[in-house]
Chain A
Amino acid sequence: MSALTLRAVSKRYGTVIACDGVDLDIDPGEIHGLLGENGAGKSTLMRILFGLETRDAGTVLRDGEPVRIAGPQDAAALGLGMVHQHFSLIDPLPVWENIILGDTGRIRRAAARAEILAIARRYGLPIDPLAIVGTLSAGERQRVELIKCLRRDPGVLILDEPTSVLTRAESAELFAVLRRVVRSERRAVVLISHKLAEITAATDRVTVLRRGRVVFRSATRDTDVVELARQMVGRDVSLGAEAAALGLLPTGPGTVPDVARQPAMRLRGLVVRPFLNGVDLDVRPGEITGLYGAEGNGQTVLGDVLSGLVVPDTGIVELGGVPVALKRPGALHRAGLGIVPEDRHRAGVVLDLSVAANLVMKDPVVNRRRLRRTAERLAEEFGIVGASLDAPLRTLSGGNQQRVVLARELSAHTKVLVVAQPSHGLDVGAAEDLYARLRSCARDGVAVLLISTEIEEVLGLTDRIAVIASGRIAGELRTADATTERLGLLVGGVAR
C-alpha cells in the first residue's frame, strides 16, 4: 500500500491552473523524485499536502485512508514532514532551540541536546546543538532542518529543492542520509527538484510535472536524463547552453581566453575578517571568469563588498585601473560595476516598488514619461514578462525578477558584471536565457565574474576558473584544463 496517495488533485488560481488532476503514489521505502520546471505545480502540490492551500478537487489518502488536511498541524499529525526550500530557521537562536521550536511543555535543554545528538548520530548528520544558527553554513543549516524534521518521526519526508544552496559534496551527503532513512526505516521520501542529475542519481521512481499535469512517470533506472529533460521542458533539449542548468556535464568551453588583455577589474588583498583573508583576482574583458567554491568560503561577503554593502578592512577594488573609493555610496556602480547578487530579495530589488522603479533604482528617473520609456525598452530587450510595469516587483516570477536586476545592472557603461549564484531558484528556461545573456555580454567585451557553487555551471560557462576556499583564492586555472577532480582538490584546499 502507498504511504501517500493523491487522486485527481486540482487547484486553480483565477484562470491559472496550478494542478490539473494530479495522481501520485508515494510508496514506503522509496525516494520519489518530483521533477518539473518552476511553475509546473510542484510547490502548489506540496502546499496542498501541508494544508497551506485548499485543493479544488481530488482526494489525499494516507496509508489508504482518505484524510483531511486543514493546516500544517494536521499534516504533522499524519506524519508528513517537510524540509522547505528556504530555510525556516531563526538565526540568532542556537541549533537546539530551533529544533525544539513548536514543542509544548517544559524546556529541557540537556534532554533536547541528547536527543539531537542521538538523531545526528543515527543519520550521520553531525551538528553542534549549541552552535548559533546564524554562524552555520548552508549545508549545516540544511542538516538542522533535516534533524528538526526527522525528530518528529515522519512517515513521509518531503524535501523541496533541498540542494539549491548546497555544494556537490553536501548534496551527496544529503542523499546518502536520505538513502539510509528510506532503506533502514522504510520511510517514504519525496524529492522535489528541477535538477536532472540529482533526480537520476538519488531517486527510485520519478514523476514529471508540466503545467500542472503529470506528463511522465517511470522507475528511475528505466529512464535517462535526456528523456526526463524532454518530458520536463516539453520539447527536445539541446545539450549545450542548457546542459549546466539541467545538471548535465557540459561539452566544454569554446573560446580560449586572451590573457594578455588588461583586467577590467582587479581585486587586491581584500580582507573582511573573518570571512575574506586576502582575495586577489583579475577579471578580464570579453571573458567569463568563474569563482567556484563550496558555500560559506567567503563568496557571500565578497558579493557584499562588490555590492557596496560591506567595506573591506583592507584591500582595493580596481576598475579600469582606478581604485574605487569603497566607502563612498554608489561608487562601484558609477565606476561601471554591475552586480546581480546572490540573494536578490535582500539587496538587489525592492519588492514593493514597481517593476519600472526597480529597473531604474540606481539612477532614479523621476520624470514619469521617461521612466516609462526606459522601463519599456529594458523590459522588451531583456524579455521581462509580467502583468504590468507599474505592478510591484513581487508579482513577477523569480526568473523575471532576475531579469529585472540584470537589465538594470547591464547599462551602457557597465564594464564589469558580477553574477552570484545566478541559477538559484531558476527553472531551466530562465537559467538557459541567463546563460545566453552572460555569454553575449562577454562577447560584447564586458568582463563577467560568475560566482557559483554549481560545478556544472562553472565548467559550462566560464573561460577561467578561480577557486575560493576559506576566504582566499586557492588556485586559478583555465577551464579547458579543469577537471572535476582538480577543482575538487582546490576546493578542499589540497593542491594548487
Chain B
Amino acid sequence: MIRTVAALVVALALSSLLITVTGGSPPAALQALVRGSLGDATAVSLTLLYAAPLLLIAVGACVSARAGVFNIGQEGQVLIGALAGAAVGLRLAVPGPALVVVVLLASALAAGLWAWLSSLMHRLRGVDIVVSTLLMAFLAQQVVAFAVNTPWLLQESRLGRATVLPQTNKLPADALLGSIGHYPGLQINAGLLIAAVPAILVAVVLARTRWGFRITMLGLNPLAAQHSGVRVGALSGVALAISGALAGLAGAVLLTSPLSTNRLQPGTSLGIGWDGLLVALVARNRPLLAIPVAGLFAVLRSGGSFLAATGVPSYLVDVVKALLVLAFVAPPALKRWSSA
C-alpha cells in the first residue's frame, strides 16, 4: 500500500515535471483535465460514455487473466464486435427496439468466437495465446478496413455523386443505445448499465460459485485444476471467449452510443481496447475495483482532449496514463522481485 502511494507520488511528480518542461503549468493542466472531464454535466456525460466500454473490456480481461489466459487482443475483439453489430444492425430487419438487443448479442457472440479461435489454435497447435490474441487484433483491423472499403460488403451507399468514405451507413435509430433517466444536461447512456451489470456479475460469480473457484484454481495452478477434475482446455477457452465477448460488447456500445457517429469506421475502437486492458492491469484483475479505475481512465480520456485544447500536447496525457499504470503495477512486481 505504502509502495503504491509512493509510486503514485513519483508518477504525479514526473507528470508535473513533464508538463513544466514542455512549457505548461501543472496546476493549470490539472484544472483543465478536471474541467474537461467533470467540470459540467456535458463533461460528466462524456466521461461516463467513455467509462462504459473501458469497464466492459477490463472486466473481460479480468475473467481471462484470472483463468491464467492472457488475452491482450481486446482492441481487435472490440472491432469485430462492432463489425458484427453494424452488419446485423444494418442488414437485419428486426422490428423496433429489439434491434439494439440483437446488435449487442451479435457483437458479443462474434467477438467471443473470434477470441476463442486463439484458444483453439493453442489447443490444436500450441500457439501462444498472448501472441495470437495480439496478432488477431491486427487481423481484425484489416478485416474491418476491408469491410468498410468494399461496396458489396458494408461500405456506405453512394448517394448521387458524393464521394463515399470508408465507413458504413448510419445505424437505424432502433439500433442505438439511448439515455436512461432524465437529468438536466446530464446524459447517462444505457451503455453504462450494460457495463456495470457484467462487472458485478463477474465479481460475484468469481468469488461465490464453483465455476468461479475453478477459474481461479485454473489460473493459479492448472495442473492442480486438472487433477481436481477441471477440463482445463475447455474452461480456459470459455474464459477467453467471455473475455472476447465482453470486449465485443464494448465495441457495440462504442458503435451505438453517442461516442461514435454510429457508423462503423476503421477507427471506431478509438484505441479503447488497449486502455481497457490497462484498466484491468491497474485493478489487478478485480472486477469491482475495475469500476473506479475505469472511471479514472475515462476522466483521463475526456479530460485529455480538453487539455489538448489548452495547448498541452495531447500525447502527454498518454504519458501520464502510462506513468499511472506503472505506479500501480510496479510495486507488487517489485515486491515479488525483492522477495525472490
- A residues in contact (CB < 8 Å) with B: 307-309, 329-331, 333-334, 341, 346-353, 357, 361-362, 364, 366
Contact = CB atoms under 8 A, between A and B. Distances in A.
B161 interface: no
Interface of B: 208-210, 213-214, 216-217, 220-221, 223-232
B308 to A, nearest CB: 43
A366 B208 contact: yes
Specify the main secondary structure of chain B where it touches its partner. Answer: helix
A437 B208 CA distance: 34
A330 B229 CA distance: 4
Greatest chain A CB density within 10 A among B223, B231, B232 is at: B223
Nearest to A332: B229
A347 B229 CA distance: 12
Contacts of A309: 223, 226-227
Nearest to B225: A350
A362 B228 CA distance: 5
A331 B230 CA distance: 11
B84 to A, nearest CB: 33
Contacts of A349: 221, 224
Given A353-B216, A366-B210, A333 B224 contact: no
B217 A361 contact: yes
Q: Do most interface residues of chain A lie in helix, strand or loop, or is the interface mixed? A: loop
Contacts of A362: 228-229
Given A308-B227, A329-B231, A357-B213, A350 B208 contact: no
A366 B213 contact: yes
Contacts of B209: 366
Nearest to B210: A364
A346 B223 contact: yes
26 contacts: A307-B227, A308-B227, A308-B229, A309-B223, A329-B226, A329-B229, A329-B231, A331-B229, A333-B229, A334-B229, A347-B223, A347-B224, A348-B227, A350-B220, A351-B220, A352-B221, A353-B217, A353-B220, A357-B213, A361-B224, A362-B228, A364-B210, A364-B214, A366-B208, A366-B209, A366-B210
A350 B221 contact: yes
B216 A333 contact: no
Contacts of A364: 210, 213-214
Contacts of B229: 308, 329-331, 333-334, 362
B224 A348 contact: yes
Top 8 closest pairs, chain A to chain B, by CB: A330-B229, A347-B223, A329-B229, A347-B227, A350-B221, A364-B213, A364-B210, A350-B220
B220 to A, nearest CB: 5
Nearest to A334: B229
A418 to B, nearest CB: 12
Contacts of B210: 364, 366
A362 B224 CA distance: 9
Nearest to B216: A353
B332 to A, nearest CB: 13
